[in-house]
Chain A
Amino acid sequence: MLSIYCPHCAEHRDEEEFHYKGQAHIARPSDPDKCSDEEWGNYMYFRANPRGIHHEVWVHALGCRKFFNVTRDTRSYQVFESYLIGTSPSITGEQGGQPS
């Protein structure tokens, strides 16, 4: 069971209150009409699958129902930090999951 800090509720809660919502920091192409199929396909479907530090979106589904980002190690499941959407992580890994 992970204990995750919700930056909106400002306290730690159990994992069962949260849902995982995938990789964080995926920027939508500014002009989708000018994207090649490959660029659009990469944006829509292809996600990093790093072994190590991963930045990901979580939602406090049973609590405040707000989204936020989490930095987690995919090897140990250790959660390093929670930070608000639109801000940058303070912990970045050498392997994958880099903010774009």
Chain B
Amino acid sequence: MPDQHILRAFDRDLEEIQARIMKMGGLVEAAILESARALRQRDPALAEEVRRADKAIDRLEEEINEEAARLLALRQPAASDLRTVLTVIRIAGDLERMGDYAKNLAKRTVVLIEMPRVEGAAGAIRRMAKEVEQMLKDALDAYMRRDAALAEDVRQRDLEVDQMYTALFREFLTFMMEDPRRITPCMHLHFIAKNIERMGDHVTNIAEQVIYLVTGEMPDEARPKATDIAPPSAGGA
């Protein structure tokens, strides 16, 4: 299919809105990595920067939604053009949520810095964040390249994030049972881990949007899930 519309302004509009999604995606990737780094390095200034940067992400989402509404009204897109606009709106929503989770991570980091370290936790969270960030990068690449196979791969990889979360959950539970003074930091760390796990779900949504964009069909629900969060056998919790 030829890439160019007869009406070239339509091409410019579609390119513009997708460029904004990429920009937004880049900001969210950075927010994930930086917030995890702030936690690991116990760097309140960096955490504060992540919190401030979330405003730009929110603003981009608003701009994308406005631009999408304008495009729908003025260009009446059909077929793959319509799917482009629809997916842009949904992906912007997912990215905005991910930005919020990164911001929340930064917020909790500021609190955690005042407490004793929970050994191993920050490193594990950093690895988890890194994995989600890589998934997001691949999902956005898949979007730009209209690569449904890569998107499906991203979708499958969410299982690993879920497993990392489950492992961390059990570890925090053990820590808390061993030493009640660790309950507060472990609770914060648990929320962080849970939020990163949710980021993974949003990346999965984005990957599904890519599949819809390319094929016109939403993928079937059959996706590996790992939500076994039974407490460790020692506990009576």
| Chains A and B belong together in one complex | no
